[in-house]
Chains A and B, each alone.
Chain A
């Protein structure tokens, strides 16, 4: 066996890096919100970055282990505890059948990730273990986890090479003000230069309307040349939509595949994890970056993952 959900928490789902290859049919990608935390959790326990993990949102679940395995918890500090004692995050830990992983009050960040060595035993639907809540597929029966759910481990491990080395510095998620880098496009030409200046030179506050689909923000109005509607276009993770009201909405993991609002720019991949850990009320300062520089940082992060895997797995 593997895990049994004792208490569900607010929103706990199984996610991997997303369901690619079906967007042309209207199927959303889904996947983890914070790709960095999820990747590191997987790497710590010897998995491929793309393995399915638990994405824990704000108020976390209580989980009982029904088999031994090695796990790692990463992401925001949601007061993770093992049998009631604070659990060291960003570290591979051997857990025994009968032990309990619990979460309590969220301290910093919004989402934590739990990776299990060998992954969870759920079916791969259209190439992914990600839960698509709207289409009700993937993950565990296409839905968020509920008390009583039991999910097996696919290939649990009680030892890993270099287990003691599998530990990373815990990132600080306590900031309430963030710089987020954005590449312009694809509809930046729907905005006058003065509006692009407004977007980059001001602070935007994350509103209460922030979920897995999108992050709505409020701040100085970004005016269009003509209007905020376009003939429907494709949408990328991190797209900054500006509808006619002039406030930005960043499209997150559960975004629709297509939409009819102008997109001034796109948050870069390596900065999306910062946004994924933000809470309503946090301040965002968007900063311009070139596509070349954005792709440099993207490739550098991929290289870091590769080096870390080589260091751990030999």
Chain B
């Protein structure tokens, strides 16, 4: 990890920088370091925030200073080989594609010379890496969408998009966690709540995890919606199979 840099990000945070690109390998290193730091239980650390390029570590200078923290991190980095990093999980996100929920799916299909069925097949075939969450609570920055369904944003953004809406913007796909204005091409909606302030874990997704979209029928959508409401829905997650 010779290319890692410890950067000052104010007097209460350190930016541990791993690279300057959007690359799954960088995300993997950041995730592993975050887990290692959590396992080490360094006193004075308030929280850690993964991004595409770095792990921002918020800490209390009255407990640990910048130099002492950097020294601790050196030790953790040197010991990384001895720490078991569990495989990231894949979480399934059920989506009702098209219709009212995904009014732009026909446009996405025609823009790419495909049928709606082909768009759904391509969109559900990938496991998308969650590089980071940001912008608003619960908004995932996903990587790995096929170029075959890339579509420019709407020329004029919608005033309101419902929470749970799944869309495409250029080369990206994503989910709106809460109702907000936006210019993404909407292809469907999930009945899962990406964000719920009253839930023990308010935000469903985690950086470093993968998302797998699964196409559901309207009946299934309504059933899952009911289960989510009653807190009986069983989230489908499994360990990501490493592709070497």
Contacts and interface: CB of A to CB of B under 8 A. Distances in A.
Interface of A: 20-28, 125-126, 134-135, 137, 183-187, 230-239, 256-258, 263, 266-269, 291-292, 294-295, 298-299, 302
B138 A26 contact: yes
Contacts of A266: 8-11
B203 A26 contact: yes
B133 A25 contact: yes
A166 B209 CA distance: 52
Contact of A24 (B50, B54, B66, B177): B50
Contact of A25 (B7, B56, B178, B202): B202
Interface residues of B, number: 46
A292 B197 contact: no
Nearest to B63: A299
B84 to A, nearest CB: 21
Nearest to B66: A291
B47 interface: yes
Given A236-B9, A292-B66, 8 more contacts: A26-B136, A135-B137, A232-B134, A233-B53, A234-B49, A291-B11, A291-B66, A299-B62
A185 B202 CA distance: 32
Given A26-B137, A266-B8, A294-B11, A234 B202 contact: no
Contacts of A263: 9
Contacts of A256: 134-135
A186 B138 contact: no
Contact of A292 (B46, B56, B65): B65
Given A22-B202, A184-B8, A298-B11, A125 B134 contact: no
**Most chain A Cβ neighbours within 10 Å, of B12, B20, B139:** B12
B136 A135 contact: yes
Nearest to B22: A231
Given A23-B58, A232-B52, A258-B135, A185 B65 contact: no
B141 interface: yes
A174 to B, nearest CB: 27
Interface string B1-20: 00000011111110101001
Contacts of A295: 11, 61, 65-66
Nearest to B177: A26
Q: Is the interface of A mostly helix, strand, loop or mixed?
A: mixed
A102 to B, nearest CB: 33
Contacts of B138: 25-26
Contact of A26 (B10, B20, B48, B133): B133
B187 interface: no
A232 B132 contact: yes
Nearest to B12: A269
**Most chain B Cβ neighbours within 10 Å, of A28, A125, A295:** A295
Contacts of B206: 24-25
Contact of B10 (A22, A28, A268): A268
Contact of A23 (B47, B136, B205): B47
9 contacts: A22-B137, A23-B56, A25-B203, A28-B137, A126-B197, A183-B8, A187-B7, A292-B66, A299-B62
Contacts of A125: 197
B207 interface: yes
B17 A126 contact: no
A24 B141 contact: no
A237 B132 CA distance: 19
Contacts of B21: 231
B51 interface: yes
B137 A183 contact: no
B49 A24 contact: yes
A294 B13 CA distance: 12
A50 to B, nearest CB: 13
Contacts of A267: 10
**Most chain A Cβ neighbours within 10 Å, of B51, B139, B203:** B51
Can you list the 3 inter-chain pairs with the closest CB atoms, starting with the nearest? A234-B56, A266-B10, A185-B8
Contacts of B8: 183-186, 266, 291
**Most chain B Cβ neighbours within 10 Å, of A22, A26, A298:** A26
B134 A239 contact: no
Contacts of A28: 137
**Most chain B Cβ neighbours within 10 Å, of A24, A231, A237:** A24
A230 B20 CA distance: 8
Given A23-B47, A126-B197, A295-B61, A234 B54 contact: yes
